[in-house]
Each structure stands twice: as C-alpha cells, then as structure tokens.
Structure 1
Amino acid sequence: MDDRKGSITMSSLLQLTLSALKKRLADRPSIQIQQESGYVTEVRFLFNAPALEWELVKFEETNQLFLPKDYKEFLLMHNGAKLFIDEKSGASFEVLSISEIQEDHQSLDYPEGWYPIAYGLESSVLVMNLNEINPHKRSNEYLFWLEPGESIEHATPLSMNFEIFLERFIISQGVEYWNWPAYKARHFYKANDLED
C-alpha cells in the first residue's frame, strides 16, 4: 500500500504540501532550485501570519460569497505569502492577503464573483471565480490564469483549486507549469530553438 495516499486522508493536501516545504527550509533561509533551461538559483519564502476568522467572515459577508474550503484553510494558516523569491532575477510569486484581495478587486473592477488572489511574473494574475462553488467541498475548480492586458473573458481555466495549484507549483519549483504545452519531442526542440 502507498503510504502517501493514506496520509492525505489524515491531513489536507495543503497541510502536507506546506509542511514538507517548511521542513526543507527549517535550518536554512533559502533553498536551491532548478527551473527551465538549466536555470539554477537560490530562492526564499515568506509566509504571513494567519488571518483571523472574523476577517474571513467579514470578507464573505461584505462580498456576499463563500470562500472555498481549501483556500480558506490556507488563509487561516498564512494570510498571504511570497513564494520563490529569487534575489538574482528579482522575481517572486505573491499570494495576496485578504485585505489586498479586497482592495485589488475594488480598484481593478473585476466582475462580480471574480477575485485576484496572487501575482506572478510580469503582472500575470491568479484569479478565482466564486460564482459557482460549493463551499463545503474541496473539489471545486475555481482558479484561472490571467495574462497581463487580457480581459477576464480570456482568462485560462486551470481546472483546479488552490491546494492542488500550490502543490504542483511547489513541485515544479515555481514555474508556470500550466503553460507547458504537451509537445511531442520533435516539436519541443523546434519550439525552444534547440538542436534536434
């Protein structure tokens, strides 16, 4: 029997993912990662203090919505975070706090039920569509990726929730894995200007 499958039933995928990452960071301020095209660098992670339950209740009441179960769990662990902070390139992935989400939603005029929750490279945005979620289930697919300058109608559906997104993002060492095309080998070399 695979012990990993049994452990997910005792802890959420979110808890397992963050716990494993924090173990890797326990005795050092940064970790070395390898990304696409052989890029190797040291990265840091900063996790905010937990959100308070009343802050989440106020957000839900003010906006007349329910936050997804897994995302709410993250906010109660860390009310925002900076992930894969790369001093060499200046890049990072910023998960917004609940107050930043509210501010950005109002100032950027998102449609009803759509909220920015994180910023990636070059002002790309991870957004959630809360219009059709079940607040009692973890299996909602509410995340979308919005490239700079695109309208919300052109956001790319990621077909996942936050805890799955975060686990895969950490496993892929901070790269935009959802943009990886399913190339055949010959197409990969051509698309990346590599010698075949």
Structure 2
Amino acid sequence: MNQIAAVLGGLQQKISHGSTFIQRKYNEIGQAKFNLPEPVTAASLAAFEAEFNQKLPSEYQTFLELHDGANLFILDDGLGLVLHSLDQVIEATNEAIEYELIHEDFDHYWVIGEINEGYLLINREFAKTEDTPYMYWVFHELSTEEANPIGQNFGTFLEYSIIAQGDVFWEFKDFSIEKDNYFVDGDPPKEDVKPPLPIKFVDSVRVEIEYPISKTDSDYEYTVSIYEGKSGKERLMSRYEGGSHFNKLIEDVRNRLSDRQYHYSLINVFQTESRFWENEEETGDSLIINESPQKQGLSYDGYRAFANQLPRPLPGWK
C-alpha cells in the first residue's frame, strides 16, 4: 500500500470509530466534519494537463486518484484543511492570476486548497522533478511574491496535516512566549474555572436489551443493561427500565454512549425476547411460556458505526 492510501485509510478508520472531536491550538475545539469524494476523472486530468501543459506531481496525482479533493477537520468556523477538486484547482488558479494573487513575477504556482486563512500552493517549477519540496502557503490577503515554503512534498504534507488535525503544523516551531500572545488575555474568575473531565478509554461495551412480556401493554418496559470492559472482565455500568417504544429506547442508548467521556473501540448489542408472552391480568391464565424466544446479536466497530446504523426491533415488535 502506498503512503497516501495508508494515511487516508488510517484517517477513515479514525472517523469510523467516531474520533472526530478535535482540539487545535488556541484551544479551538469541536466536532470536526470530513468529506472524501470520489476519485478524479480521466477527463479532469486531461483538462488540467491541457490547461497548464504540465503533468501533476506523482504524490498529488495519487491522492486525486483516490479522492478528487477533500474537506478534513472542518470546525464550525469553517477552518480546517480544504483540498480542491482538480477542476476547482484550474478555476482557483486562473482566478488567482486574474486578481493578481499570483504575482506576474512569481506565476509558477497552482492553488490546490486552503488551510487556516491561507492558500495551499504547489510550486510548478519544483514539482517538475520532485527532487525539491514544492508545497507552499500564503495568507489570503498576500500574493505569491510572499509565499512561504512548507518544506515538503504532498505525501508528507498530507500525513503531517492529519496528525496536526488540519492545523498549520509547519508554524508550530515558530511559536514563542516572547512574540506570541498565545493564551487568552486576562485570568478568568476562579469560580468559573472547572477542572477537566476525566476520559475513560474502554475496549468494548455490551448492551443487553431484554424485551417486555407484552407487545401491546404500555405499562411494560424494556430492560437495558450496559456493561463495559474487556470480554470476561466486564462490569455493569448501568441498568434501567426503558420505554415501551423501541426506537426511543435505542435513541436513549445512543445518547448514553455518545458521552464524550467514553471512547469505545467495539460495541456489542444483544436483544432477547422474554421467556413469557402474556401475563395473568391480560388472559386470566398463568404466564404463557414463549417456547422459542427471538434473539439477536450485533457488533459495531466503534460508536460512529453504531450511530450510523442503529439496531432495529425484533420481528413483531415496534
């Protein structure tokens, strides 16, 4: 597997586990959004080469052949790593020339995306041989005359950007106490300062749902038991009576598991019908034994997989 595919595969695994709450410098935190589109088309590649009479650097083309652009680690303020589709690269580069973002004496750049209030650039001259790092960056309000070298080619740039959660990692080394007002001005009142919440990393969680005796009487409720820990060493985290409507019950389970204090790598859900059907109050008879209670077991690779495909009730229930 090549470097680009391996890096993106790791990112997709992280997303599937629900690990999308991020923290960047200046304490920018939030639930990040991601978008990894379909691969670039042959027509777009041909149009690009015809427009600029130059082939793409190999690492960048490898990325496009997996995903034609991407939005990675985007927070509510819109900041993060944006990689344009190849058609957008043509459009953004031509607009940059028109509006003189690309300086006439420094016109050897493609605009391939944006990050942290600046444009991502590829130096076309350096990209011809790939022996010299070709990734550059410039503030939105400046021109390519003042573009700063990142010091890497596309593959390593992408990997480091993912490690830095969409931040400008090449600037980290330049921060200092002397010149940067890094922290929030002023000390908050002591009564407003809250200690950080503890975080619990749990290998797995098991959710057991026991169905009520009756399918129709709203007085009967589901019983939910949630266990956490490694198989064979689990402990009961909570047990409670759920509502008579299955979908509302599952929504409650989802909300409990979404607590940001808990991070699960595996979620197992077991559903079991009661051994009895009707009770004496409904039939006038003793409890009727359910000879073949339905059972179902489901496994999810992390919270995100569980939230995207919630369990459904057993046949005959709702």
Q: Same fold (TM over 0.5)?
A: yes
**35-44 or 153-162, which deviates more:** 35-44
Give the drift of 1:57.
Answer: 2.6
Instruction: Kindly report the root-mean-square deviation, in angstroms, between the aligned alpha carbons of the 2 structures.
Output: 2.3
Mapped contact 1:134–1:140 kept (Cα < 8 A): no
Distance (Å, rounded) in 1 between the aligned partners of 2:182 and 2:91: 42
Amino acid in the other structure paired with 1:148: H
Amino acid in the other structure paired with 2:158: L
Amino acid in the other structure paired with 1:16: A
1:165-190 Cα distance to aligned partner (Å, 9 max, x none): 1110110112111122345xxx4376
Distance (Å, rounded) in 1 between the aligned partners of 2:29 and 2:94: 38
Query: 2:104 aligned with 1:115, yes or no?
Result: no
1:120-177 Cα distance to aligned partner (Å, 9 max, x none): 233x100111123345x5x541111011221212100111111111110110112111
Give the drift of 1:62.
Answer: 2.5
Q: Give the SS at the match of 1:108.
A: helix
- 2:119 aligned to 103, 106, 125, which one? 125
Amino acid in the other structure paired with 1:125: Y
Distance 1:40 1:149, change over 3 A: closer
2:29 alignment partner in structure 1: 40
Specify the structure having the higher radius of gyration (Cα).
Answer: 2
2:41 alignment partner in structure 1: 52
Mapped contact 1:50–1:77 kept (Cα < 8 A): yes
1:27-86 Cα distance to aligned partner (Å, 9 max, x none): 54x611121144332102101111013321331133111100000011111111111121
Query: 2:138 aligned with 1:146, yes or no?
Result: yes
> Aligned pair count?
177
Distance (Å, rounded) in 2 between the aligned partners of 1:193 and 1:35: 12
Q: Aligned ranges for residues 150-189 of structure 1 at < 5 Å?
A: 150-182=142-174, 187-188=176-177
TM-score (norm 1): 0.80
Amino acid in the other structure paired with 2:116: L
Distance 1:190 1:144, change over 3 A: closer
TM-score (norm 2): 0.51
**Percent sequence identity over matched residues?**
26
Give the drift of 1:118.
Answer: 0.6
Query: 2:11 aligned with 1:21, yes or no?
Result: yes
Q: Give the SS at the match of 2:51.
A: helix
Structure 1 residues without counterparts, runs of 5 or longer: 1-10
More strand by share: 2
Mapped contact 1:66–1:130 kept (Cα < 8 A): no
- 2:67 aligned to 62, 66, 78, which one? 78
Amino acid in the other structure paired with 1:119: E
More helix by share: 1
1:90 alignment partner in structure 2: 78
Give the drift of 1:191.
Answer: 2.8
Amino acid in the other structure paired with 2:61: K
Q: Which structure exhibits the higher relative contact order, with contacts defined as CA atoms closer than 8 Å and separated by 6 or more residues?
A: 1
